[in-house]
A and B are shown apart, each in its own frame.
Chain A
Amino acid sequence: MTARDNTPRFDLARVRDVTSGSKRFWSSLEELIDEDGFRAWLAAEFPAASSMFDDPGRRQFLKLMGASLLLAGLGGCGQQTNADHALPYVNQPEALVPGVPRYYATAVTFEGYAQPVLATTYDGRPTKLDGNPDHPVTRGKSDAFMQSAIFGLYDPERSKTPTRQGTSASWAAVEGAFAALRARWRERKGEGLRVLTGATTSPTLIRQMAALAREYPAMRWHRFEPVGHASQDEAMTAAFGRAVSPHYRLDRCDVIVSLDCDFLGPGAHQVSYAGGWAQKRGELAPAQGRARLHVAEAIPGLAGTVASTRLPSDASRLGALAQAIGAQFALPGWTAPELSGAEKRWLGRAVAELRAHQGRSLLLIGTHLDPQWQALAPLVNDRLKNSGATVWYSDPIHAPADGSQSLTALTADMSAGAVDTLIVLDCNPAYSAPGGLDFASQIARVPNRIHAGLHVEETATACEWHLPLSHALESWGDARAVDGSTTIMQPLISPLYSSRSVHQIADMMLGTVDPAPDTAVRATWQQAFGSALGDRWTRALHDGFVTGTTASPVSVTARPPSPPQAGPTRAQGQFEIVFRPDPTVWDGRFSNIAWLQELPKPLTKLTWDNVIAVSPAIASAQKLSNGDIAEVTIGERRARGPAWIVPGQAANTIALFFGYGRRAGGEIARESGYDAYSVRADERPWETRGTIKRIDGRYPLATTQAHHRMEGFDFVREVTAANPRTPPPKSSETFYPDWNKSTFPENKPEHAWAMAIDLDLCIGCNACVSACNVENNVLVVGKDQVSRGREMLWLRVDRYYTGDAENPKSFFQPVPCMQCEKAPCEMGCPVHATVHSPEGVNQQVYNRCIGTRTCSSYCPYKVRRFNWYDYRHFSEAEQAAKNPDVSVRSRGVMEKCTYCTQRIQAAHVQADKENRPLKRDEVVTACQQACPTKAIVFGDLRDPGSAVSQRRRSGRHYVLLEELGTRPRTTYLARWNDGEGGDA
Chain B
Amino acid sequence: MGQIFSPAGDTWLRLFLVGLASLAAGSVVFAVRFAHSDWVTGARLHPLAQPVPFSHKHHAGQLGIDCRYCHTSVAEGPRAGLPPTHTCMTCHSQIWTGAPMLAPVRASLADNKSLDWNRVAVLPEYVFFRHDIHIAKGVGCVECHGRVDKMPLTYRAKALTMEFCLDCHRNPAPHLRPKNQITSMTWQPTGDREALGHALMKQYGIRPDQITHCYTCHR
Contact = CB atoms under 8 A, between A and B. Distances in A.
Contact of B84 (A92, A843, A898): A92
Contacts of A887: 125-126, 218-219
Contacts of B216: 905
Interface string B95-128: 0000000000000110011111111001011101
Contacts, number: 120
Contacts of B128: 885, 902, 905
Interface stretch (B5-13, B60-68, B202-210): B202-210
B219 A90 contact: no
Contacts of B33: none
A902 B136 CA distance: 19
A83 interface: yes
B82 interface: yes
A220 B216 CA distance: 61
B215 A898 contact: yes
A747 B209 contact: yes
B170 interface: no
B133 interface: yes
A807 B62 CA distance: 83
Contacts of B136: 912-913
B205 A912 contact: yes
Nearest to A904: B215
Given A88-B84, A909-B132, A99 B115 contact: no
B219 A886 contact: yes
- Interface hub of A90, A744, A845, A847 (most chain B Cβ within 10 A): A90
A127 to B, nearest CB: 15
B137 interface: yes
Interface stretch (A388-396, A436-444, A833-841): A833-841
B77 interface: yes
Interface string B76-106: 1111011111100000000000000000000
A99 B77 contact: yes
A830 B148 CA distance: 42
Contacts of A836: 213
A846 interface: yes
Please classify the interface of chain A as helix (H, G, I), strand (E, B), loop, or mixed, using the class held by over half of its residues.
Answer: loop
Nearest to B78: A99
B125 A97 contact: no
B106 to A, nearest CB: 11
A97 B86 contact: no
B130 interface: yes
A100 B76 contact: yes
A527 interface: no
A84 B122 contact: yes
A57 B115 CA distance: 57
B82 A83 contact: no
Contact of A837 (B73, B118, B213): B213
A841 B79 contact: no
Contact of B79 (A85, A99, A845): A99
Contacts of B73: 97-100
A100 B78 contact: yes
Contact of B113 (A90, A98, A750, A885): A90
Interface string B176-219: 00000000000000000000000000001100011001111011
Contacts of B82: 86, 88
Given A85-B116, A88-B114, A912-B137, A843 B81 contact: no
Contact of B214 (A85, A747, A845): A845
A89 interface: yes
B218 A845 contact: yes
B213 A83 contact: no
Contacts of A81: 125
A847 B219 contact: no
Contact of A83 (B119, B130, B210): B119
B115 A88 contact: yes
Given A747-B209, A901-B219, A98 B77 contact: yes
A86 B205 contact: no
A283 B130 CA distance: 43
A744 B215 CA distance: 16
Interface residues of B, number: 41
B133 A909 contact: yes
B219 A885 contact: yes
A588 to B, nearest CB: 37
A89 B85 CA distance: 7
Given A838-B209, A838-B210, A912-B205, A90 B133 contact: no
B125 A88 contact: no
A837 B205 CA distance: 19
A90 B109 contact: yes
Contacts of A749: 210
Contact of B219 (A86, A98, A744, A902): A902
A786 to B, nearest CB: 26
A180 interface: no
A798 B124 CA distance: 37
A847 B124 contact: yes
Given A99-B77, A847-B124, A901-B219, A913 B133 contact: yes
A905 B219 contact: yes
Interface in A531-550: none
A898 B126 contact: no
A91 interface: yes
Contacts of B78: 98-100
Interface string A146-164: 0000000000000000000
Contact of B86 (A78, A92, A885): A92
Contacts of A915: 204-205
A414 B86 CA distance: 59
Interface string A626-648: 00000000000000000000000
Given A99-B77, A905-B219, A913-B132, A91 B137 contact: no
Interface in B149-189: none
B112 to A, nearest CB: 5
Contact of A84 (B76, B83, B118, B126): B118
A87 interface: yes
A898 B128 CA distance: 15
B205 A83 contact: no
Nearest to A96: B73
A847 B113 CA distance: 35
- Interface hub of A84, A87, A89, A841 (most chain B Cβ within 10 A): A89
A92 B204 CA distance: 32
Contacts of A747: 209
Given A841-B215, A887-B219, A97 B77 contact: yes
A381 to B, nearest CB: 51
A334 B27 CA distance: 95
A835 B109 contact: no
B117 A87 contact: yes
B214 A837 contact: yes
A88 B113 contact: no
A91 B85 contact: yes
B79 to A, nearest CB: 4
A320 to B, nearest CB: 57
Interface string A62-89: 0000000000000000100101111111
A87 B114 contact: yes
B183 to A, nearest CB: 17
B84 A87 contact: no
A905 B214 CA distance: 11
Contacts of B83: 88
A913 B179 CA distance: 12
Contacts of A898: 215, 219
A898 B214 CA distance: 12
A334 to B, nearest CB: 62
Nearest 5 CB-CB pairings of A with B: A88-B82, A87-B114, A89-B84, A92-B84, A100-B77
14 contacts: A86-B119, A87-B115, A88-B114, A90-B112, A90-B113, A91-B84, A97-B76, A97-B77, A98-B78, A100-B77, A749-B210, A843-B214, A887-B126, A904-B215
Given A89-B86, A98-B79, A749-B210, 11 more contacts: A78-B124, A85-B118, A87-B114, A87-B116, A88-B84, A88-B85, A88-B117, A90-B113, A98-B73, A100-B76, A837-B214
